[in-house]
Each structure stands twice: as C-alpha cells, then as structure tokens.
Amino acid sequence: MRRSLLLFVAFSLIPISSVYGKELKLAVVPKFNSVFFDQSKAGCIDAAAQIKGVECIYRGPDISNVRMQDQVINQLIDEGIDGIAVAVTQSKYLVKNSLKRAKEAGIPIITYDSDIDASINEDPNSLRLAYIGTDNIELGKSLGEELKKLRPNGGTLIMQSGRRDSPNLNLRLMGVRSALSGKKYDVPPGELLNNDLGWTEVREPFFNFDQLAQSVIQMESVMKGRPVKADSFIAVGGWPQNDQALYRKMIAPYQAKINNNEVIIVITNTSSEQLTMLEDNLVHINIGQAPYEMGRQAILTLYKIVTEQKYDRIIYTPITFCTPENVDTCTKVSGL
C-alpha cells in the first residue's frame, strides 16, 4: 500500500505535457447520470487532479439508453479523447459501433462497473484492456447469503433488475440464484429458482429499465402482496431507494411488515441517502459497492496505459455490508 502511494505521488510530480507533448484527456462514461454514477465522477475528478497534465472528462446520457451512450462515446472520439472508461449498457451494440471505432482510432478502452459480456462472441480482452469494478457474481452471492441469514428455511422471492441485457446485472442475478440454490450456472443470469433448497422465485425479475418511479411501483406491488405475493425482495441495484422521498412515501404503510420480517428487503448500494433509510429501518440490509473508487482507478489505469506503464487488467473494488446495527461504521471499514 505504501509503495503504491509513493509511486502515485511520484507520477503526479511529472508534467505529462513535458513528456508527451500535450495534456491527456481521459473519459469516464457512465451508463447514465445517477446518484450511483455521480460518485464515480468524483473519483475521476479527484484522481485527475493529482496528476499534472491529466483532465477527467465525465460524460454520460441522462437516461440508460445504449444508443445515447454510443453517441456520447462517438462525440468523445471526435473531440480527440486519449482514453475511455465505459460502464457498458449493452455489449453488442457498443462493440459494433463506437467501441469498434475507438479501437480503430487507437484509443485505449477499459470498462468499469459493467463489463463486456459473452454476447459479442469474441474475447472481451481483444476490445477492452482492463475491467474495474465489483465482482458482480460475488456481489450477487452476497445478496443471497445475507437473505439466507434472515430467512434460513427458504421462502418465496422476487428480484428486481434494470435491463434484461445488462452484463453486470445478469451476473448479480446469477450470483443470487447460485447462493440460494447451491447450484453453479454456466450462463448468466442462471435459472429461475423452483423449490431449490426451499427457495422459489414467484415470477421472473422485475425489469425497471433504470426508471426510478417504475422501480418503486414494482417494489410496492411486493409490499402489498398483490398481484403476486413473496416474502423476500432483492434489488440487484439501488433503484427504488435512489429517490428517497418517493421510497419513504411508498414504504411507510408497510413498516410493520418490515419490523416483523414478513417481507425481507435486501437492496444493493450504500449512498448516504440509502444509509439514512437503513438507519430508519426501512430496509433490512444494504450491500454497497465502491463507485468512487471505480472512477478513481479508471483514471489511474488509463493513465498507466497511455503512458505505457504496467497496469492491472482486473481490479475488483470492495463491497460493504450494512445493517441497522452497523450503519454508522459499515462504509468506513474499507475507507469508502
């Protein structure tokens, strides 16, 4: 750790413009602008500020839309960007379009948060030079294992995801199913649970297409117990809690169900707003990622690639486990 810090400080003292003849513009492209991805923006800006001659360009679409994300990347290419870190919305489309163009232009590409998946039918390493972010299968397993602690004899489950074709979210769904069923699946998102070690998914996951209002409506149907009924709810992203006012209004009538463990709620991510809701017992468990660190490491990795230094091809950022009992300290354990 100390050696890495010293190396980082040493790098920051070397003006890039004096060595390479120009300043470096390195881009971080989220799936869309949100509470979660805004934290990767902060990491991107802070890392670039520590290296002379490096600028963080953070730019993403306002909504989760692969064509809009593709347009952002093409715009960055036209502007002469020196490196791109992208949270992949949909692999096939980006690889056939803007990422192919970036590769042909000699612009290094890395992924963060969401990697290129197997749908492209070729080795992702031929397109992207590194992945930085959560080990999404392990995150999914952690969501499942935490649910099992509160409902050890199994139960009925509804999960919530963003898009059917989202690479990282499908890995999380598979991880949950693996933890609950004890099975190993070859292809994400795995298979619907059907009395596997006592666990049954009452329907396929809700897909909210990153629409926060829709995610809250979907979750409310679980809390109501109609039109479908389940005793457990897992969100593999933070959507329903990303609009705190809307979430609080929806969940308030069901406080007794939460207190009595009638419905167990496990939600991904640990923004400050989510932790206040956890502290108020409006959710049972939040499992957090490290978006700030993703953005920070994205800039550091692109910098190393462009300046021809050694770099790690895979950097898994940590996850944190937060409950009402440890809410004051859970995200501080790993310095996040």
Domains of the chain: 2-134+290-319 (3.40.50.2300), 136-288 (3.40.50.2300)
Distance CA 95, CA 211 (A): 25
What the block records as the tokens of 55 is 């600028």
Sequence-distant (6+) residues with CB within 8 A of 72 are 29, 59, 60, 61
Over the chain (336 residues), the average pLDDT of each successive run of 10 is 38 42 89 93 98 97 95 98 97 95 97 92 88 97 98 98 94 98 96 98 97 97 93 98 97 98 98 96 98 98 98 97 96 59
| Amino acid letter for position 100 | K
Sequence-distant (6+) residues with CB within 8 A of 22 are none
**Could you tell me how far CA 119 lies from the centroid of its own chain?**
19
3-state SS, residue 158: strand
- Torsions phi, psi for 250 (to 5 deg): -70, -45
Distance CA 240, CA 228 (A): 18
Does this model's pTM top 0.85? yes
pLDDT computed for residue 27 by the predictor: 98
> Maximum Cα–Cα distance for the chain, whole Å?
65
Question: What element of type H or E holds 169?
Answer: helix 167-181
Q: Are 254 and 247 in contact (CB under 8 A)?
A: no
pLDDT computed for residue 121 by the predictor: 81
Q: Are 269 and 36 in contact (CB under 8 A)?
A: yes
Q: Is 158 left (phi over 0), alpha (psi -120 to 50) or beta?
A: beta
pLDDT computed for residue 22 by the predictor: 64
Cα dihedral 211, 272, 303, 117, rounded to 10, equals: -40
- Residue 43, judged by CB atoms within 10 A of its CB (0-12, 13-18, 19+), counts as buried
